[in-house]
Amino acid sequence: MKNPKVISEAAVKSRSITLADFLTEEELDRAAKLYEHREATGYAKAVCEQIIRPNIERINKALNQENDPMYLAYAVEYVMNEARKGRTQ
Protein backbone atom coordinates (compact mmCIF):
# COMPACT_ATOMS: atom_id res chain seq x y z
CA MET A 1 0.00 0.00 0.00
CA LYS A 2 1.24 3.49 -0.80
CA ASN A 3 2.25 5.79 2.00
CA PRO A 4 -0.82 8.00 2.74
CA LYS A 5 1.45 10.94 3.57
CA VAL A 6 2.89 10.84 0.04
CA ILE A 7 -0.59 10.65 -1.45
CA SER A 8 -1.86 13.57 0.62
CA GLU A 9 1.22 15.66 -0.21
CA ALA A 10 0.59 15.00 -3.90
CA ALA A 11 -3.04 16.04 -3.49
CA VAL A 12 -2.03 19.29 -1.83
CA LYS A 13 0.41 20.05 -4.64
CA SER A 14 -2.10 19.33 -7.40
CA ARG A 15 -3.99 22.12 -9.08
CA SER A 16 -6.65 22.54 -11.68
CA ILE A 17 -5.72 23.94 -15.06
CA THR A 18 -7.58 24.59 -18.26
CA LEU A 19 -6.36 23.95 -21.77
CA ALA A 20 -6.12 27.71 -22.26
CA ASP A 21 -3.55 27.78 -19.45
CA PHE A 22 -1.03 26.07 -21.73
CA LEU A 23 -2.36 26.15 -25.30
CA THR A 24 -2.66 29.27 -27.43
CA GLU A 25 -5.89 30.05 -29.30
CA GLU A 26 -4.26 28.81 -32.51
CA GLU A 27 -3.19 25.56 -30.82
CA LEU A 28 -6.69 25.07 -29.39
CA ASP A 29 -8.16 25.55 -32.87
CA ARG A 30 -5.70 23.03 -34.33
CA ALA A 31 -6.55 20.54 -31.57
CA ALA A 32 -10.27 20.97 -32.30
CA LYS A 33 -9.71 20.44 -36.03
CA LEU A 34 -7.62 17.34 -35.34
CA TYR A 35 -10.45 16.08 -33.14
CA GLU A 36 -13.03 16.57 -35.88
CA HIS A 37 -10.96 14.46 -38.27
CA ARG A 38 -9.52 12.00 -35.76
CA GLU A 39 -9.11 8.32 -36.37
CA ALA A 40 -10.51 5.80 -33.90
CA THR A 41 -7.09 5.80 -32.25
CA GLY A 42 -4.14 8.11 -32.43
CA TYR A 43 -5.66 11.49 -31.51
CA ALA A 44 -3.54 11.98 -28.38
CA LYS A 45 -0.38 10.99 -30.25
CA ALA A 46 -1.19 13.46 -33.05
CA VAL A 47 -1.80 16.27 -30.55
CA CYS A 48 1.42 15.40 -28.75
CA GLU A 49 3.55 15.38 -31.90
CA GLN A 50 1.93 18.27 -33.77
CA ILE A 51 1.03 20.67 -30.95
CA ILE A 52 2.47 19.83 -27.52
CA ARG A 53 5.99 18.56 -28.20
CA PRO A 54 7.01 21.45 -30.52
CA ASN A 55 5.86 23.93 -27.85
CA ILE A 56 6.83 22.11 -24.66
CA GLU A 57 9.31 24.74 -23.48
CA ARG A 58 6.67 27.47 -23.62
CA ILE A 59 4.08 25.14 -22.06
CA ASN A 60 6.42 24.23 -19.21
CA LYS A 61 6.99 27.92 -18.52
CA ALA A 62 3.24 28.64 -18.68
CA LEU A 63 2.53 25.88 -16.16
CA ASN A 64 5.65 26.62 -14.11
CA GLN A 65 6.73 22.98 -14.12
CA GLU A 66 8.21 20.30 -16.34
CA ASN A 67 5.51 18.26 -18.08
CA ASP A 68 5.24 15.01 -19.97
CA PRO A 69 4.02 15.94 -23.48
CA MET A 70 2.00 12.74 -23.87
CA TYR A 71 0.28 13.26 -20.51
CA LEU A 72 -0.81 16.73 -21.62
CA ALA A 73 -2.02 15.29 -24.92
CA TYR A 74 -4.15 12.77 -23.03
CA ALA A 75 -5.58 15.67 -21.02
CA VAL A 76 -6.49 17.46 -24.25
CA GLU A 77 -8.14 14.28 -25.56
CA TYR A 78 -10.12 13.90 -22.33
CA VAL A 79 -11.39 17.49 -22.48
CA MET A 80 -12.35 17.12 -26.15
CA ASN A 81 -14.24 13.89 -25.39
CA GLU A 82 -16.07 15.51 -22.48
CA ALA A 83 -16.97 18.54 -24.59
CA ARG A 84 -18.34 16.23 -27.29
CA LYS A 85 -20.43 14.35 -24.72
CA GLY A 86 -21.89 17.66 -23.55
CA ARG A 87 -22.96 18.54 -27.09
CA THR A 88 -24.62 15.18 -27.72
CA GLN A 89 -26.61 14.97 -24.47
User: Using one digit for the tens of pLDDT, what is the confidence trace for 22-36?
Assistant: 999 999 999 999 998
pLDDT digits 0-9 by tens, 38-86? 876 799 999 999 999 999 999 999 999 999 999 999 999 999 999 888 7
Residue 76 CB-density burial (10 A; 0-12 exposed, 13-18 middle, 19+ buried): buried
d(Cα 43, Cα 34) in Å, to the nearest integer? Answer: 7
Count of H-run helices and E-run strands, the chain: 5, 0
CA 3 vs. chain centroid, Å, equals 28
Q: Against a cut of 0.75, is the pTM above it?
A: no
CA distance 21 to 42: 24
Domain map (residue ranges) of the chain: 17-88
